Amino acid sequence: MAAVDDAQQPDSRLSKTNRERLVSAGRHAALLVWSFVVLFPLYWIVSMSLKPPTAAISLPPDWIFLPTVYNYIQLLQQSSFVYAFFNSVFMVSASVILVLLIGVPAAYVLSRYDIPKQRDVLVWILSSRMLPPVAVIIPFFVIFRALNLYDTRIGMIFMYITINISLVVWVMKAFFDGIPETLEEAARVDGATRFQAFRKVILPAAKPGIFSVAIISFIFAWIELLFSLVLTNNNAVTVTMQVYQFIGVRQIEWGMLAAATTATIIPVVIFVIAVNRYLAAGLSFGVVIKE
Amino acid sequence: TRGGDSSSGDGSGDGTSGDSGGDSGSDSGGESSDGGSDELAIPLSEYQSADIDWRQFEGSEINIGAVQHAWVDAIKPAVPVFEELTGIDVVWNVLPEQEFRTKRLTDVSTGAGEWDVFFLDQVVNQFRESGWLQALDPYFEDDSMYDEEWYDLDDLFEATRWQAHGGGYSDTWTGIPITVEVQTQFYRTDLYDEYDLEVAETLEEFQSNAQTIHENESDVVGTVGRGQQGYGMNIYILNTFIRQYGAELWDSYPDNSGLDSEGAISAAEWYVNLLQDYGPEGASSQVWSDVLSTMQSGNAGHIVSDANLFWPGLTDPESSDVADRIAVAKAPAPADGQFSPNAFAWQIATSQNADNSEEAFLFMLWASSEPTNTWMHVENGAGFSVRQSTWENEEYRSRVGDNFADVTLESLQAAAPDPFDSQYPEWGQTYSEELQTAIGGDQTAEEAMTRAASAAEDIVGE
Amino acid sequence: MSTPTQTTSQGPSGLARLRELWNAYLPYWFITPMVLVMLLITIFPGAYDLYLSLVKYQLTDPTTIGQFNGLANYERVFTSGGAINSFVITITFVAGALALETGIGFVLAALVTGVKSDRMKTFYRIAFIIPMAVAPVSLATIGRIMLNTEIGIIPFLIQQFTPFVAPNFLSDVPLLTVILVDTWNWTPFMFIIFYAGMSSVPKTLLEASKVDGAPLWRRYVHVIIPYMKPVLFVAILIRLIDLFRTFGLVFSLTSGGPGTATELVSINIFQTGFTFVDLGGAAAIAIVYLVGIVALCNILIIKVGFEGVWD
Amino acid sequence: MAKIDLDTVTKRFGSGGDAVVAVDDVSLEIEDGEFVVFVGPSGSGKSTLLRIVAGLERQTEGDVVIGDTIVNELGPRARDIAMVFQNYALYPNMTVEENMAFGLKMSTDLSDDEIETRVRETAEKMGIGRLLDNTPGEMSGGQQQRVALGRAIVRNPDVFLMDEPLSNLDAKLRTEMRTEINRLQNELDVTTLYVTHDQTEAMTMGDRLVVLNYGELQQVGTPLECFYRPKNRFVAGFLGSPSMNFFEGQTEGGTLRLDGFDFDLTREMQSAAGSRNELVLGIRPEDAKIHDTPRSSHELEAEVDVVEPMGSISYVYLRATEQEGDRTFIVETDGQRAITEGQSVYVEIPDDDVHLFDDEDGETIHQRKLGEDAEVELEGQT
Amino acid sequence: MAKIDLDTVTKRFGSGGDAVVAVDDVSLEIEDGEFVVFVGPSGSGKSTLLRIVAGLERQTEGDVVIGDTIVNELGPRARDIAMVFQNYALYPNMTVEENMAFGLKMSTDLSDDEIETRVRETAEKMGIGRLLDNTPGEMSGGQQQRVALGRAIVRNPDVFLMDEPLSNLDAKLRTEMRTEINRLQNELDVTTLYVTHDQTEAMTMGDRLVVLNYGELQQVGTPLECFYRPKNRFVAGFLGSPSMNFFEGQTEGGTLRLDGFDFDLTREMQSAAGSRNELVLGIRPEDAKIHDTPRSSHELEAEVDVVEPMGSISYVYLRATEQEGDRTFIVETDGQRAITEGQSVYVEIPDDDVHLFDDEDGETIHQRKLGEDAEVELEGQT
Ligand SMILES: Nc1ncnc2c1ncn2[C@@H]1O[C@H](COP(=O)(O)OP(=O)(O)OP(=O)(O)O)[C@@H](O)[C@H]1O
Ligand SMILES: Nc1ncnc2c1ncn2[C@@H]1O[C@H](COP(=O)(O)OP(=O)(O)OP(=O)(O)O)[C@@H](O)[C@H]1O
Ligand SMILES: [Mg+2]
Ligand SMILES: [Mg+2]
């Protein structure tokens, strides 16, 4: 949909091309300002990772410098970082798939069926993310040890599911609510089981929502710190912990910290690029369904 | 399992870049499997001369919880020696300080006992009083585990031994000290030359040096110092001056904190004024890393008093713009006070619930023994020895420079650690918050100290 | 081959029967895993915290641990200045950050939606998501140095290129700084969800409203926002909750200071529990806080014009 | 095999005082293979009834029986039906081809090739063969509707439910589609429930016509029966376009006094009327005749209000000269006949073509006469 | 003030080889206050044209002028139009009342009270007064359509654009609504563009009829003109229901040889045909007459294929006895006339009622005769 593209004043003297250009220029100006706000710190982090340590924090900054990949080479030579990195990629990806498998159908049920005490159920789901992790970390540690999940990948995957499940259920419920029920009715009359109607008709229509929550869940799990800190030891270690190893007791290795931070952004960027086209698979139901 | 060996294990020679080299933060004993084939860092004979049954726990494994401290980087390459010597595998769990504290508390307080050996700091008495710590005395008394002659306890600085006894609150060993840092002053030689300054011994001299630089240099502030709250932050610095002003914290525990004594208030006033007048903008939120970075980037004339461990970072051309223009000196003291900088020692301890406490003790012993310690300092860039002998070691002195070694040694000999009672984290926190507010200019130093005192007494008295 | 299990299946074939069961009880299959996960993650920690909040659990006082303490822990929450203060600060923080993130996120989503060029659109979409991928503690650590008045790039840029004087971010305007950094970090969350929500507004509705003569902003107010309301509401609610429990970012930036200027409830809980090792007290704060948030959520859901959205 | 029984089916939306009764106590038996057309004013419950049969809506009361089973509890899938939705309900994220293939994929075991063949064939018949790769959003209203129709008929169900499937098509296409649907229905012998607002469709397509009003059954019968033998005033007025003209009046002896003219009741009519006093006379526009000069007794004088030329015919709106109210009635005349507005004419109301209704309950008390053949045919049907 | 000029407007969807030309080089001037009806087969570009006028779609080429300004550049809001969308496009989260009030709120300064009054009045007229608090999802198709219509007419725009606004209404309601729209249009003198598939609407509502096919203008004229004087075979066949019957044939001297019978061309026809060889004869079903016995020379023998009784009239599908192909043609007869399938009849094709078309380009070469009055009327209109 294009929501913002026509005349503001009825008696505008501007020709469309000019006005269009103006509107579009204004839009891009605003977006570029925010792009700068967003990208400058990122640029700074990346440039820190490419500078020798002294240059990283000197003022006025060296705008022009000879990039060095020294930090990245160091990073790659650290087997523990590489291990944790791929470990995280695996655990986080697995958890995103699982949390979608668990959460999306549940959201669908909450959207389409009469659930007794629905509001309470929803708030209950939400309550799982209400307490700061520091308030629940000890009980989780106790359970994890009791169930032998401590420092296991399964345990971390489960943990990631728990931090994302409420998000997935809530957001997806909202998206399902926006999908006309007629579509489903048509599918069921066409002989689809409820499940088939869900899978073939509703899910494709909910794509923007699904991929959005996938991105967000991925990121939430990817940057999670406290649970991975307390619940892992050395098998299921995560990349966040590895980033922080450069924050030492009497020395912060800025270059390495920046390089590691940059490295952790990369999978997210790749993931976002991969699902980019689904984010706005804007379906115009209105064209098809008379409302 | 994965190959856990990091190729650049021994760093590149000095303290700072050592960090980047060998942290296999959570590497599961990778070294042990490869260790045999490589040349060992320290000959085993150094240890086998001791009357200790090193191999009595052969085949077991210990888990070490450590903060991301230079000690870890310095000792890691030597760990294969320990593994070879004892047949015990070592698993590391290295974390940043804040995260380390969280995890340590979770592990120890729930009785999980994941860590057989862990770093211990100001919270030693908190841990001790809650009954989680295991006193090491029985091990010291066990002949198969300890050889007094070989180990040479007296070589450890008094201050560190004191701290390893619960900071004076315990009669038994709470842990074994592994590192010690003492506060020293850092200054810029180029600026001193330019303005013809003398190294300050008194606070007054220091203040005037700072003033000179502050007022004459546009981009350089007179001094930097920690302002941020936290029990290891601003008060860690201030306590030095309080003691030097002749005040004593908790001269009568738990009734009088001493925080509102005249000396304490004078010290606070001095420190607050110093930072406000000649410190950086926003000093009240600076942590040690800001202090270090500001100095490294050449934007400060002094560090009034902070850990001597900054030295490698300040003098490494890789990370410091002013590496060749920095010098170290003893922290300033009031003209009429006594020189008594703050010293802080990390100890490693074991908990009641740890599965492998005996193995842990062997590790502690090994790690703090003279051969290991010397090797770390001479060969592997360390600079925090708890053993006096190291500071007198010529090889070591020539590496770190006589000046640094002397300053440190003298400071350490005169140093006194803070008294960390079990409620230190709590009252220290409040105290540091008050101090930070004062540095920020929202209350006077006197108000801050008075309020800190009453809060501390409330907390402790409860 | 007859095995005992086969006697139970009367249907046409095992598989078909399974299929039948699957479809007949579909909602149950769909919702059960979620419920199980939820039970696992809420019951035990909740009960555990509740228990802790009712007993003495000051770790430095091992002799009294586990003694029933009545409501003394709660009493302390309401009488000690620290907890109350941190509630107030938290609310300020949440309100400020939420307003900024919602506003900016919405405007960005609207602006990006209107971008014609696909390539620019993709660029903005990706660029605006990335800040979220920077882990809060990294961000805070690097952010500290960037904001440093003496050696930070941001004050430097402000001094050099704007007529403004850069404030001492972390010491003079700590709460604002924390809010701004959080906004930088988390606006992407709002952006993504809003953007997806906007994409599902039917084109015909927009056309109808254009023909009806609605100016741009009224189209948003009367057509787009009402249509997206469920999605908007969810995003805001979730962000609200997440903001309430923000910890790492703020703790690494300010440790709650200067003084207690940025001491959020989560920091208060952390310090009470992990620094002062008073697990009972920490649990009591957590419970009070939980009750507050649950109430707030219910009020929002029922009262603030969102009635009907969730029926 | 696909006989459909509705047994006292009622559907209420909402509850309590606000409840809307969309379907009110409808009982109806539909034979296997029968083609039943539902008509009724907007909001009379036609769609709701179809949705109940489809299993998309659960009736509040009563039973739905398909074949020999009570299907109240069964979902749409189990009922083996194909439905054309009034609002199309195309899958927005599928192409036309996928839309049409979906039902086959779901409900049959056909191979992909077979499905494609069938979809293509049907699409050709619907005239949307070249649009197979379009998505619904890229098509005109009529094209979308044809996809919706095609999606239903490509399947081979027991029951067709069609809810105004041709409303957005032009006359020509509509005729074609009508024929196609009829052909298909005959061929496959599929029980069909068909909702329409189109008089032609209503009269020509179905075996039986079901007339609904406010959710209540008004009449069930063959189209001609409903047209010539309406059970009540509502049905009489609803079928036929323009509607039958109604004149309310009182009997006075053998005369019905209407506003503007008197009408002499025949003996037959009088006996049918019995003791009723208030009667309504009904005459279809095509049955009344316009003369320039008076010819017989059964005439009234009227003034031409509006003339609506339709091509071959014209509709003339007339106002009785002597009437008191302001109502007009309509008479159909030849399209080429010159009639101008304001002109005075005489309208003949043939005895044979008159219906009489009870004014109170609307029941028909006298039906018109038909030609002998027609009469026979009508009898034959019932 | 609200004259609308379309100047060589073309709209293509897609680009390159795949482009669909939805509107093809249409030029049209619509007077202020005029009521123009657009007809054409499904997919012929009617909706697209309306959307271009509304400013919802940007034409690929050409200009749109409203009043005196070229509005190519202006958005819908600046054009002051009200539109009924083919797919209703009701706001799903507003009640009926809010839906109807929305346009007024947006485009006028009326007070809330005034708005409410106007909305209520309009809703009553639309027969949806008691549904004001419903949301669109709770209404029947026809009710929704009336809301869509009401939403447009409650406003007081310069231009009405109505895209099949009555397609889902029953005949009676449709008549009412038709009258209402006409009344309103007359009263307010709003320039109106109206798309319909309904013959009655097309013939009765507009001042002018615009016939489109494949996006191209076929004919623009009064409804009667288009009906009686179609410019080409397409228009002739498109208007009227059932369609005109067409017979292709070759001239042989003064005779047109058709499949199944010969037709003697009148002198006039011959001269119109000129040297053309291949001609198409067109005759409307209502113009041909069925006799049981032969009467005149212009007759052919045919066999009854199907009889479609419509009430007052019946459509008889006939097959010429002597023809070779399998085509049927339709003749309208009195509904009560007894005709049975298989019966043999004679069909008279009156000279006067015959149209002749060029077989190749479909141009009309001979128009039918009309009664004198009708002729006059038609002339008067043009
Ligand atoms: N968005 C689009 N993309 C591609 N083709 C389109 C699009 N919209 C319409 N068309 C095509 O343009 C042609 C004209 O469509 P339009 O909707 O104007 O037809 P219409 O005359 O209104 O038909 P109907 O009577 O069926 O509503 C159709 O062939 C249609 O398939
Ligand atoms: N979901 C609903 N909630 C409340 N009322 C409803 C709902 N659906 C339909 N109705 C009401 O039920 C009645 C019958 O609706 P239905 O759709 O069956 O009418 P219909 O005969 O199909 O009319 P149309 O010819 O206009 O499509 C209408 O008065 C309508 O307002
Ligand atoms: Mg309907
Ligand atoms: Mg259309």
* C-beta of residue A134 within 8 angstroms of C-beta of residue C247: yes
Structure confidence at residue C307 (pLDDT): 46
Q: B218 pLDDT exceeds 80?
A: yes
C170 within a domain of the structure (yes/no): yes
CA–CA–CA angle B53, B55, B59 (5° rounding): 155
Structure confidence at residue D293 (pLDDT): 84
pLDDT tens track for D221-238: 999 899 999 999 999 999
C227 within a domain of the structure (yes/no): yes
Q: Give the closest residue (by CA) to ligand 1 atom 6.
A: D138
Q: E381 pLDDT exceeds 80?
A: no
D161 phi and psi, to 5 degrees? -120, 120
Residue D47 has its nearest CB partner, among E140, E371, E374, at E140
* C-beta of residue C46 within 8 angstroms of C-beta of residue A138: no
Cβ–Cβ below 8 Å for A185 and D89: yes
Question: CA distances (Å), E373 to each of A282, D202, E221, in order?
Answer: 59, 35, 19
Does B234 contact C at CB distance below 8 Å? no
Structure confidence at residue E382 (pLDDT): 52
Specify the amino acid at residue A255: G
Give the SS3 label for residue A52.
coil
Q: D380 pLDDT exceeds 90?
A: no
Looking at residue D85, the DSSP 8-state letter turns out to be: B
Specify the amino acid at residue E258: L
- Among B112, B86, B8, residue whose Cα is nearest residue B369: B86
Encode burial over D246-271: b for 16+ CB neighbours within 10 A, e otherwise: bbebebeeeebebebbebebeeebbe
Q: Please, what is the average pLDDT of chain D?
A: 89
Q: Are strands D159-163 and D4-13 parallel, antiparallel or unpaired?
A: unpaired
Number of domains in chain C: 1
Chain C nearest-CA distance from E68, in A, is 20
Encode burial over A122-151: b for 16+ CB neighbours within 10 A, e otherwise: bbbbbbbbbbbbbbbbbbbbbbbbeeebbb
Cβ–Cβ below 8 Å for D141 and E42: yes
Sequence-distant (≥ 6) Cβ neighbours of residue C109 within 8 angstroms: C190, C191, C194, C195, C197, C198
Q: How far apart are CA D186 and CA C125, in angstroms?
A: 56
CB-ligand 1 contact for D141 (6 Å cutoff): yes
* Residue C70 CB coordination number (10 Å): 10
For chain B, positions 296-325, list CB contacts with chain A under 8 A: 296-299, 307, 309-310, 312-313, 317-321
Structure confidence at residue A289 (pLDDT): 41
What CATH number labels E4-233?
A: 3.40.50.300
Q: B332 pLDDT exceeds 70?
A: yes
Residue A44 has its nearest CB partner, among C113, C146, C274, at C146
Sequence-distant (≥ 6) Cβ neighbours of residue B395 within 8 angstroms: B378
Residue A288 has its nearest CB partner, among D77, D83, D144, at D144
Q: How far apart are CA B24 and CA B2, in angstroms?
A: 12
Pocket test for ligand 2, best of D46, D50, D238 (most atoms within 8 A of CB): D46
Pocket test for ligand 2, best of E90, E139, E167 (most atoms within 8 A of CB): E139
CATH topology for E243-381 is OB fold (Dihydrolipoamide Acetyltransferase, E2P) (2.40.50)
- Confidence class for position D186, pLDDT limits 50, 70, 90: confident
Structure confidence at residue E309 (pLDDT): 81
How many Å lie between the centroid of ligand 4 and the Cα of residue E109? Answer: 32
Residue A291 has its nearest CB partner, among E72, E76, E88, at E88
- List the subunits that have 3+ CB pairs under 8 angstroms with A: B, C, D, E
- Confidence class for position E191, pLDDT limits 50, 70, 90: very high
Q: Are strands D255-258 and D261-264 parallel, antiparallel or unpaired?
A: antiparallel
Residues with Cβ within 6 A of ligand 2? D 13-14, 20, 22, 40, 42-48, 86; E 138-143, 168
Q: D295 pLDDT exceeds 80?
A: no
Question: Residue E237: closest CA among chain D residues belongs to which residue?
Answer: D172
**Ranges of chain C whose pLDDT falls below 50:** 1-11, 305-311
Structure confidence at residue E188 (pLDDT): 87
Sequence-distant (≥ 6) Cβ neighbours of residue A145 within 8 angstroms: B110, B112
Cis peptide before C258 (omega within 30 of 0): yes
How many Å lie between the centroid of ligand 1 and the Cα of residue E196? Answer: 15
Ligand 2: which atom is nearest the Cα of residue D41? 25
Q: D210 pLDDT exceeds 90?
A: yes
Cβ–Cβ below 8 Å for A257 and C41: no
- Name the helix (H) or strand (E) containing D320: strand D313-320
Chain B nearest-CA distance from C83, in A, is 14
* Residue D347 CB coordination number (10 Å): 21
Around C129, how many Cα atoms within 13 Å sit in the side-chain half-sphere? 34
Q: B423 pLDDT exceeds 50?
A: yes
Across residues E140-146, what is the average pLDDT?
92
Its CATH architecture, for the domain A72-280, is Orthogonal Bundle (1.10)
Across residues E170-186, what is the average pLDDT?
88
Structure confidence at residue A54 (pLDDT): 66
- Higher model confidence: residue E217 or residue A113? E217
Question: Residue C207: closest CA among chain E residues belongs to which residue?
Answer: E56
Q: How far apart are CA D52 and CA D57, in angstroms?
A: 5
For E260, the token pair is 């199944």
For E214, the token pair is 């494949």
D325 phi and psi, to 5 degrees? -70, -170
Question: CA distances (Å), D41 to each of D38, D44, D218, E171, in order?
Answer: 10, 6, 12, 8
Sequence-distant (≥ 6) Cβ neighbours of residue A146 within 8 angstroms: none
Whether B and D touch, i.e. at least 3 CB pairs below 8 A, reads as: no
C125 within a domain of the structure (yes/no): yes
Question: Residue D91: closest CA among chain A residues belongs to which residue?
Answer: A183
- Confidence class for position B14, pLDDT limits 50, 70, 90: very low
Sequence-distant (≥ 6) Cβ neighbours of residue B170 within 8 angstroms: B125, B128, B135
Across residues E151-158, what is the average pLDDT?
89
Q: D61 pLDDT exceeds 90?
A: yes
* C-beta of residue E302 within 8 angstroms of C-beta of residue E345: yes
Q: E9 pLDDT exceeds 90?
A: yes
- Among D175, D231, D242, D230, residue whose Cα is nearest residue D205: D175
What number of helices (H) and strands (E) belong to chain D? 11, 21
Q: Which residue ranges make up each domain of chain E?
A: 4-233, 243-381
Percent over 70 (pLDDT), chain E: 98
How many Å lie between the centroid of ligand 4 and the Cα of residue E25? Answer: 18
* C-beta of residue B199 within 8 angstroms of C-beta of residue B329: yes
* Residue E276 CB coordination number (10 Å): 16
- Confidence class for position D298, pLDDT limits 50, 70, 90: low
Cβ–Cβ below 8 Å for D89 and A188: no
Does E70 contact D at CB distance below 8 Å? no
Residue D167 has its nearest CB partner, among E140, E168, E242, at E168
Q: Which residue ranges make up each domain of chain A?
A: 16-68, 72-280
ipTM of the complex: 0.86
- Higher model confidence: residue A116 or residue B39? A116
For B286, the token pair is 């600076």
Structure confidence at residue A98 (pLDDT): 96
Q: How far apart are CA E74 and CA E71, in angstroms?
A: 5
Q: Which residues of A touch C145 (CB under 8 A)?
A: 57, 254
Q: E214 pLDDT exceeds 90?
A: yes
Question: CA distances (Å), A31 to each of A49, C129, E268, in order?
Answer: 27, 13, 74
Give the CA radius of gyration of chain C. Answer: 26
**Ranges of chain A whose pLDDT falls below 70:** 1-17, 53-60, 280-291
Question: CA distances (Å), C138 to each of A70, A246, C237, E91, in order?
Answer: 20, 10, 26, 46
Across residues E312-319, what is the average pLDDT?
87
CA–CA–CA angle E187, E193, E196 (5° rounding): 110
